[in-house]
Structure 1
Amino acid sequence: MTHSLPVSDHTTDPADLPALLARLGYAPVATGGVRLRGCPNPDGSLRWLWPTTLRQPLFLELYNAASPKARLFSAFVRLVFFCRLQGVFFRRLPGQFAATGQQVWPRADFALFTGTPGPNRKAVCCYALAPGQLVFAKLPLGPVSAEKVQAETTTLLHLNQRGFTRFDLPRVLDYEPGHLLQSSVQVPGARRATRFGPAHASCLQELLATTGTRQPLAASNCWESITGQVAELQELSETRVPFGLRTKLRHLLATLDPNQEISVGFAHGDFTPWNCWLGPEKLAIYDLELALPEASLLYDLFHFEVQQALLTTRRSAVDIRTQALATAQRHFATVPAAELGVAWQLYLLHQVATGALLYHAQTAWHPQVSWLLNGWNALLTLELAPAMEHRQLAIFDLLDYVQLLGQPGVVLKPRAANAYYPAPSSDLDLLLEEADMEAGVHFLRHYPLAQSAVLRPAAHMQSVDCLFQDGSLLSVDLLHQLERMELRLLDAEAVLSQAERAVAGVPVPSLRDDFVYTWLFYWLNQSNLPLNHLRHFQQLAAGQQAALLAHLTAAYGLTFHSLAEASVYVPAKAEHLAFTLRQAQANGRLHRWARGLRYLLSTAVEFGRPGGLIITFSGVDGAGKSTVIEHVKERLEKKWRKRVVVIRHRPSVLPIISAWKYGKQGAEARSVQNLPRQGQNYSLGSSLARFAYYYVDYVFGQAVIWLRHTRRGHVVLYDRYYFDFINDGRRSNIDLPARLTQALYALVNKPRLNFFLYADPQEILRRKQELSASTITQLTQQYKTLFGQLGARYRDSRYVPIENQDLDTTLALIGQYIQQEI
Structure 2
Amino acid sequence: MTEQLLSATTTAIDVPTLLARLGYAPATEGGIRLRGCHNPDGSLRWVWPTTLRQPLFLEFYNAASPKAQLFSALVRLVFACRLQGLFFKKLPGQFAATGQQAWPVGDFALFTGTPGPNRKAVCCYDAAPGQRVFAKLPLGAAAAQKVAAEAHNLDHLAECGFTSFGLPRILGYEASHLLQSSVKPVGAQRATHFGEAHARCLTELLHATEVRQPLIASTCWQTIGEQITALEELPETRIPFGLRSKLRHLRQAIDPLHQLSFAFAHGDFTPWNCWLGADGLAIYDLEMAQPEASLLYDLFHFETQQALLVTRLPAASIRERVLAVAATYFSEVPATDVAVAWQLYLLHQVSTGALLYHAQPDWHLQISWLLNGWNALLTQELAASVEHRQLAIYDLLDYVQLLPQPGVVLKPRATNAYYPAPTSDLDLLLTRPDTLAGVEFMQRFSLVQLATVRKAAHMVSVDCLFQDGSLLSVDLLHQLHRKTLRLLDAPAVLAQAELAVAGVPVPSLLHDFTYTWLFYWLNQSDLPLTHLRHFQQQRPEAQEAMLAHLNEAYGISFNNIACASVYQPAKAALLHYALRQQPANHRLARKRRGLRYLLSTAADFVRPGGLVITFSGVDGAGKSTVIEHVKERLEKKWRKRVVVIRHRPSVLPILSAWKYGKEGAEARSVQNLPRQGQNFSLSSSLVRFGYYYLDYVVGQVVIWLKHTRRGHVVLYDRYYFDFINDGRRSNINLPARFTQALYAFVSKPKLNFFLYADPQEILRRKQELSASTITQLTQQYKSLFGELGARYRRSRYVPIENQDLDTTLNLIGRYIQQEI
Relative to the length of structure 1, the TM-score reads 0.98
* 1:145-177 Cα shifts (integer Å, max 9, x gaps): 111011001101110111111111111111111
Of residues 719-728 and 578-587 in structure 1, the stretch that sits farther from structure 2 once superposed is: 719-728
Shift of 1:197: 1.0
2:247 to 238, 249, 256: 249
* C-alpha spacing 1:646/1:228, structure 2 compared with 1 (3 Å): same
2:478 is aligned with 1:490: no
1:265 aligned residue: 263
Gap runs ≥5 in structure 1:
none
Secondary structure at the counterpart of residue 121 of structure 2: strand
* 1:111-134 Cα shifts (integer Å, max 9, x gaps): 111110001100111111211222
Q: Distance in 2 between matches of 1:716 and 1:149?
A: 69
2:739 to 738, 741, 744: 741
Secondary structure at the counterpart of residue 6 of structure 2: coil
2:611 aligned residue: 613
- Checking the alignment, whether the CA contact within 8 Å between 2:22 and 2:104 is kept in structure 1 is no
Q: Distance in 1 between matches of 2:572 and 2:25?
A: 72
2:6 aligned residue: 10
Shift of 1:188: 1.9
Shift of 1:493: 0.8
* 1:12-54 Cα shifts (integer Å, max 9, x gaps): 2544322332333222212221111111111110111111121
- Checking the alignment, whether the CA contact within 8 Å between 2:134 and 2:181 is kept in structure 1 is yes
1:234 aligned residue: 232
Q: Distance in 1 between matches of 2:190 and 2:739?
A: 75
* 1:543-580 Cα shifts (integer Å, max 9, x gaps): 22122111111111111111111111111111110010
1:468 to 466, 469, 473: 466
Q: Distance in 2 between matches of 1:687 and 1:326?
A: 72
Shift of 1:687: 1.7
* 1:400-448 Cα shifts (integer Å, max 9, x gaps): 1111111111111011111111111111111111111111111111111
- Checking the alignment, whether the CA contact within 8 Å between 1:167 and 1:282 is kept in structure 2 is yes
2:644 is aligned with 1:637: no
Secondary structure at the counterpart of residue 120 of structure 1: coil
2:323 aligned residue: 325
- Checking the alignment, whether the CA contact within 8 Å between 2:725 and 2:781 is kept in structure 1 is yes
- Checking the alignment, whether the CA contact within 8 Å between 1:611 and 1:714 is kept in structure 2 is yes
Shift of 1:611: 3.1
What are the equivalent positions in structure 2 for 1:503-652 lying under 5 Å apart?
503-652=501-650
Secondary structure at the counterpart of residue 127 of structure 1: strand
2:91 to 76, 89, 93: 93
Q: Distance in 2 between matches of 1:652 and 1:485?
A: 32
2:43 to 38, 42, 45: 45
Secondary structure at the counterpart of residue 10 of structure 1: helix
1:445 aligned residue: 443
* 1:323-342 Cα shifts (integer Å, max 9, x gaps): 11111111111111111111
What are the equivalent positions in structure 2 for 1:592-741 lying under 5 Å apart?
592-741=590-739
Q: Distance in 2 between matches of 1:164 and 1:426?
A: 59
Q: Distance in 2 between matches of 1:730 and 1:81?
A: 97
Q: Distance in 2 between matches of 1:706 and 1:90?
A: 68
1:167 aligned residue: 165
Q: Distance in 1 between matches of 2:414 and 2:53?
A: 63
- Checking the alignment, whether the CA contact within 8 Å between 2:105 and 2:125 is kept in structure 1 is no
Secondary structure at the counterpart of residue 161 of structure 1: helix
User: Partner letter of residue 260 of structure 1?
Assistant: H
1:220 to 218, 221, 244: 218
2:410 aligned residue: 412
- Tell me the C-alpha RMSD between the 2 structures: 1.2
Q: Distance in 1 between matches of 2:713 and 2:377?
A: 36
What are the equivalent positions in structure 2 for 1:347-386 lying under 5 Å apart?
347-386=345-384
2:154 is aligned with 1:156: yes
User: Partner letter of residue 564 of structure 2?
Assistant: A
Q: Distance in 1 between matches of 2:590 and 2:699?
A: 35
Secondary structure at the counterpart of residue 572 of structure 1: helix
Gap runs ≥5 in structure 2:
none
- Checking the alignment, whether the CA contact within 8 Å between 1:7 and 1:146 is kept in structure 2 is no
Of residues 364-373 and 744-753 in structure 1, the stretch that sits farther from structure 2 once superposed is: 744-753
Relative to the length of structure 2, the TM-score reads 0.98
Shift of 1:267: 0.5
User: Partner letter of residue 51 of structure 1?
Assistant: P
2:130 aligned residue: 132
Q: Distance in 1 between matches of 2:581 and 2:618?
A: 60
Secondary structure at the counterpart of residue 604 of structure 1: helix
* 1:58-96 Cα shifts (integer Å, max 9, x gaps): 111110011111111111111222222211111221111
Q: Distance in 1 between matches of 2:482 and 2:7?
A: 50
1:32 aligned residue: 30
- Checking the alignment, whether the CA contact within 8 Å between 2:138 and 2:147 is kept in structure 1 is yes
User: Partner letter of residue 643 of structure 2?
Assistant: V
2:192 is aligned with 1:194: yes
Of residues 581-590 and 187-196 in structure 1, the stretch that sits farther from structure 2 once superposed is: 187-196
2:276 aligned residue: 278
Of residues 742-751 and 439-448 in structure 1, the stretch that sits farther from structure 2 once superposed is: 742-751
User: Partner letter of residue 432 of structure 1?
Assistant: L
* C-alpha spacing 1:657/1:269, structure 2 compared with 1 (3 Å): same
1:62 aligned residue: 60
1:786 aligned residue: 784
- Checking the alignment, whether the CA contact within 8 Å between 2:7 and 2:13 is kept in structure 1 is no
Q: Distance in 2 between matches of 1:275 and 1:794?
A: 64
Q: Distance in 2 between matches of 1:283 and 1:700?
A: 79
User: Partner letter of residue 10 of structure 1?
Assistant: L
Q: How many residues align?
A: 818
Q: Distance in 2 between matches of 1:538 and 1:75?
A: 67
Q: Distance in 2 between matches of 1:185 and 1:611?
A: 65
Q: Distance in 1 between matches of 2:123 and 2:615?
A: 77
User: Partner letter of residue 180 of structure 1?
Assistant: L
- Checking the alignment, whether the CA contact within 8 Å between 1:444 and 1:453 is kept in structure 2 is yes
- Checking the alignment, whether the CA contact within 8 Å between 2:2 and 2:139 is kept in structure 1 is no
Q: Distance in 2 between matches of 1:646 and 1:493?
A: 42
Shift of 1:710: 1.0
- Checking the alignment, whether the CA contact within 8 Å between 2:556 and 2:571 is kept in structure 1 is yes
Q: Distance in 2 between matches of 1:274 and 1:518?
A: 52
Shift of 1:9: 6.3
* 1:351-385 Cα shifts (integer Å, max 9, x gaps): 00000000011111111111111111111111111
* 1:749-794 Cα shifts (integer Å, max 9, x gaps): 1111111111000000000111111111111111111111111222
Q: Distance in 2 between matches of 1:172 and 1:789?
A: 86
1:389 to 387, 390, 406: 387
Shift of 1:7: 5.9
2:111 to 113, 130, 151: 113
User: Partner letter of residue 754 of structure 2?
Assistant: F
* C-alpha spacing 1:104/1:159, structure 2 compared with 1 (3 Å): same
Q: Distance in 2 between matches of 1:655 and 1:76?
A: 82
Shift of 1:8: 4.3
* C-alpha spacing 1:26/1:50, structure 2 compared with 1 (3 Å): same
Of residues 94-103 and 638-647 in structure 1, the stretch that sits farther from structure 2 once superposed is: 94-103
Of residues 722-731 and 477-486 in structure 1, the stretch that sits farther from structure 2 once superposed is: 722-731
- Checking the alignment, whether the CA contact within 8 Å between 2:224 and 2:348 is kept in structure 1 is yes
1:400 aligned residue: 398
